[in-house]
Chains A and B, each alone.
Chain A
């Protein structure tokens, strides 16, 4: 292994054997012994012959959809799981942040938990003594340290856990979406910590769904899909490839079924909703089918970001397009064009068709379609209006 390599993953495969009926008793072992040969065991191939290297001082991203095998990869890097085939060589002390506050016990006081959690990360009592005041100050929990952890709010627990975690002196850190928790203030601290890691040239393996974070922090990234590495290299390209996978996901379906996402009286309904992203325009096409005569129809769209936050919306009334009418059995396509002001990310579209009275809902379809935007600029915002600057003196 070369000197500048921190982690080397060689032809690693991981299978999980999922017995359809788990034998967890000795009796079961005997009674099922004669039929075990015929029983088919389901083998789940979480990772298939994966190889990559992480260099020292590199901020290395692992991206992939849920169930792609990236968490399994992470657990193997952390030594929690053993690979079925292949091998993983790590050099230097490795600290995993797969979860914050490992070993926290609700029955112990905050102080005792700091020592316990510290020990899990390899700190002796003396070492924790030396950094104890720092930890408490960073967590802003001075008054609460002698209270039992079970009386802490969840936010306080996370703060305490994070304050211990940032003290970890490791050559390699493995970080799994720690940023996903906590309030805005806490997230800001996390980002600061990340920046300091990057500045101090620590080797970091970072798993996330946040493509903006990948673009901002990572030097290199891999994209894992169904147990294989489908891309390795430039983080921006990885992020783009990842986002592209979502274009097909929410492709509109025909046939209407009432569900949490879809409801309405069905007098008028959407047959399909598709979206097309151009450099400057977003085009939404809605095919409508009327069961009976309808008039004063209002159709609207809402656009949400990856977290479900509504970013913007529009409808035929507010855009001063006249409310329209449709005859029985008539079909039509409504085309909506808006400027593409969206930043990098995956967006979903909710569609609603209703009567002008605002009470009668014909068809409400949440998450009817999705689109992703890939821009060359690294802009960590969901909406990017065209802006100009001018310096006047």
Chain B
């Protein structure tokens, strides 16, 4: 019989453990570096400066988009969150092999710890975006509230992939290389650098927006930065049911990822 006390005990342990894992990860992340946490902000900023110079100044990609710098930075930050959770998780289970072999604990905490660290990073990056918005006179509307469900969706798809990849990596070590390449390809297949309107074919634009990450980034830009960006809703001619497709993909991936991780996690101790 599973009593209430049992449930509290079980998840109480996870909460305690998770807190320490996230803390440790944060303490160790910038160990020995002079600038420390500042790198959390500097890394996306430097990437942003590079991409901004190349794409906005030389190639003039974003000239049609209002507030292009903020638009670009916001896209990069959201994409980087996805990248940090997934690439950080791929080797996370194997990286914690010394723990797994010595003690029994709910293994999903390893993945949650990686994603919570990424959330903290994301929040720090939002501070930078807020500064850019103030400097760039980007007006904010009540639409910004809609950012929350979008971030939840982003968190969910990041977790889904993290569960799937980390469990696969225990058996197949080439998952990390494959994922590295896929992330590179994904960065260009998602309208982060360029406005979607630069893609000349309607069908291709539709297809690209069915990718949950493209949908999330475009919708997030719509509600926070500029309503002139192309969202999935507009591309499919104002059909609000279209949102069901990317959301179903996210939910489906999450169920698959979580179930696969759960079924494999029993054997992590023997396989890592």
Residues of A within 8 A of B (CB): 16, 24-27, 29, 75, 78-82, 93, 96, 98-99, 102-103, 105, 107-108, 112, 115-116, 119-120, 122-125
Residue pairs across A and B with CB atoms within 8 Å: the count is 71
Assess A24 versus B171: contact at CB under 8 Å? Given A82-B266, A125-B19. Answer: yes
Structural contact, B172 and A24, CB atoms closer than 8 A: yes
Which of A27, A93, A102, A103 has most chain B Cβ within 10 Å?
A: A103
B202 at the interface (CB under 8 A from A): no
Structural contact, A123 and B102, CB atoms closer than 8 A: no
B28 at the interface (CB under 8 A from A): yes
In the docked arrangement, what's the CA distance between A25 and B266, Å?
Answer: 21
Beyond A29-B172, A96-B102, 14 additional contacts (C-beta under 8 Å) are: A25-B172, A26-B175, A78-B103, A78-B104, A80-B101, A80-B102, A81-B269, A99-B102, A102-B102, A107-B28, A120-B103, A122-B13, A122-B17, A123-B16
Within 169-214 of B, Cβ neighbours of A (below 8 Å) are at 171-175, 178
With beta carbons under 8 angstroms apart, the residue of A27, A78, A96, A108 that contacts B24 is A108
Which of B13, B99, B178 has most chain A Cβ within 10 Å?
A: B13
Structural contact, A25 and B173, CB atoms closer than 8 A: yes
Query: A123 — which chain B residues lie within 8 A by C-beta?
Result: 16
Structural contact, B104 and A79, CB atoms closer than 8 A: yes
Query: A26 — which chain B residues lie within 8 A by C-beta?
Result: 172, 174-175, 178
Query: B175 — which chain A residues lie within 8 A by C-beta?
Result: 26
Query: B12 — which chain A residues lie within 8 A by C-beta?
Result: 122, 124
In the docked arrangement, what's the CA distance between A16 and B271, Å?
Answer: 10
Assess A122 versus B20: contact at CB under 8 Å? Given A26-B174, A79-B104. Answer: no
Query: B16 — which chain A residues lie within 8 A by C-beta?
Result: 119, 122-125
Assess A105 versus B28: contact at CB under 8 Å? Given A119-B16, A119-B19, A124-B16. Answer: yes
14 CB < 8 A contacts A-B: A24-B172, A24-B173, A26-B174, A75-B269, A78-B103, A79-B104, A80-B104, A82-B267, A98-B102, A105-B24, A107-B27, A108-B24, A120-B17, A122-B13
Closest 8 A/B residue pairs (Cβ): A79-B104, A119-B20, A82-B266, A80-B269, A102-B102, A122-B13, A25-B174, A124-B16
Within 66-103 of B, Cβ neighbours of A (below 8 Å) are at 99-103
With beta carbons under 8 angstroms apart, the residue of B20, B171, B174 that contacts A115 is B20
Within 1-42 of B, Cβ neighbours of A (below 8 Å) are at 9, 12-13, 16-17, 19-21, 24, 27-28, 31
With beta carbons under 8 angstroms apart, the residue of B9, B17, B21, B267 that contacts A93 is B9
- Which chain B residue has the least Cβ–Cβ distance from A25? B174
How many whole Å from A104's CB to the nearest CB in chain B?
A: 9
Chain A contact surface mostly: loop
Query: B100 — which chain A residues lie within 8 A by C-beta?
Result: 80
Query: A96 — which chain B residues lie within 8 A by C-beta?
Result: 102-104
Residues of B within 8 A of A (CB): 9, 12-13, 16-17, 19-21, 24, 27-28, 31, 99-105, 171-175, 178, 266-267, 269-270
How many whole Å from B49's CB to the nearest CB in chain A?
A: 31
Query: A122 — which chain B residues lie within 8 A by C-beta?
Result: 12-13, 16-17
Query: B103 — which chain A residues lie within 8 A by C-beta?
Result: 78, 80, 96, 98, 102-103, 120
With beta carbons under 8 angstroms apart, the residue of B21, B28, B270 that contacts A108 is B28
Query: B270 — which chain A residues lie within 8 A by C-beta?
Result: 16, 81
In the docked arrangement, what's the CA distance between A240 and B21, Å?
Answer: 46
How many whole Å from A251's CB to the nearest CB in chain B?
A: 36
Query: A81 — which chain B residues lie within 8 A by C-beta?
Result: 269-270
Structural contact, B104 and A116, CB atoms closer than 8 A: no
Query: A105 — which chain B residues lie within 8 A by C-beta?
Result: 24, 28
Assess A120 versus B174: contact at CB under 8 Å? Given A75-B269, A93-B9, A108-B28. Answer: no
- Which chain A residue has the least Cβ–Cβ distance from B266? A82
Assess A120 versus B99: contact at CB under 8 Å? Given A81-B269, A108-B28, A112-B27. Answer: yes
Query: A80 — which chain B residues lie within 8 A by C-beta?
Result: 100-104, 269
Query: B24 — which chain A residues lie within 8 A by C-beta?
Result: 105, 108, 112, 116
Structural contact, A108 and B17, CB atoms closer than 8 A: no
Query: B99 — which chain A residues lie within 8 A by C-beta?
Result: 102-103, 120
Query: B173 — which chain A residues lie within 8 A by C-beta?
Result: 24-25
In the docked arrangement, what's the CA distance between A11 and B11, Å?
Answer: 30
In the docked arrangement, what's the CA distance between A146 and B84, Å?
Answer: 31
In the docked arrangement, what's the CA distance between A150 and B13, Å?
Answer: 27
How many whole Å from B101's CB to the nearest CB in chain A?
A: 7
- Which chain A residue has the least Cβ–Cβ distance from B270? A81
Assess A108 versus B27: contact at CB under 8 Å? Given A24-B173, A80-B103, A102-B103. Answer: yes
- Which chain B residue has the least Cβ–Cβ distance from A98? B102
In the docked arrangement, what's the CA distance between A79 and B12, Å?
Answer: 18
- Which chain A residue has the least Cβ–Cβ distance from B28? A107
How many whole Å from B173's CB to the nearest CB in chain A?
A: 5
- Which chain B residue has the least Cβ–Cβ distance from A24? B173
Structural contact, A119 and B17, CB atoms closer than 8 A: yes
Which of B17, B19, B20, B21 has most chain A Cβ within 10 Å?
A: B20
In the docked arrangement, what's the CA distance between A125 and B23, Å?
Answer: 12
In the docked arrangement, what's the CA distance between A112 and B23, Å?
Answer: 10
In the docked arrangement, what's the CA distance between A269 and B99, Å?
Answer: 52
- Which chain A residue has the least Cβ–Cβ distance from B267? A82
Query: A78 — which chain B residues lie within 8 A by C-beta?
Result: 103-104
Structural contact, A27 and B269, CB atoms closer than 8 A: no
